[in-house]
Amino acid sequence: MNIILISDTSIRTKNIKVTRTHIILITCVFFIITLMLAHGLNYFSQRYTDKINNPVLRSLVVSSQQKRNQDAQSHLLDNLDIMAVKLGQMQAKLLQLDALGERLAKSSGIKSQELLFNQAPGQGGALSTLPLETISFGEFNQKMKALSHALDDRADKLGVIDFMLRQDRLAKRVFPSIMPVDTEWFSSGFGYRIDPFTGKRAFHEGVDFAAKTGTPIKAAAGGVVIYSDRHPEYGNMIEIDHGDDLISRYAHASKRMVNLGQIVLHGQKIAEVGSTGRSTGPHLHFEIRHKDIPQNPSRFLKRLS
- Per residue in 34-47, pLDDT (tens digit) is 777 766 666 655 55
In a domain, 154, yes or no: yes
d(CA 30, CA 204) in angstroms, rounded, equals: 107
* Closest by CA position to 100, among listed 160, 172, 173: 160
* pLDDT value of position 188: 86
* pLDDT value of position 212: 93
* pLDDT value of position 138: 73
- Per residue in 287-300, pLDDT (tens digit) is 999 899 999 988 88
d(CA 54, CA 23) in angstroms, rounded, equals: 39
Is the domain of 39 the same as that of 67? no
In a domain, 77, yes or no: yes
* pLDDT value of position 240: 95
Predicted TM-score (pTM) of this structure: 0.50
Is the domain of 99 the same as that of 156? yes
* pLDDT value of position 169: 58
* pLDDT value of position 115: 53
Domain that holds residue 145: 61-104+139-173
In a domain, 24, yes or no: yes
Is the domain of 251 the same as that of 158? no
Is the domain of 196 the same as that of 93? no
Which residue positions in the chain have pLDDT lower than 50?
305
* pLDDT value of position 305: 47
CATH number of the CATH domain containing 195: 2.70.70.10
In a domain, 65, yes or no: yes
Radius of gyration of the chain (CA): 44
Is the domain of 22 the same as that of 78? no
Q: What region does 159 belong to: left with phi over 0, alpha with psi -120 to 50, or beta?
A: alpha
Is the domain of 271 the same as that of 206? yes
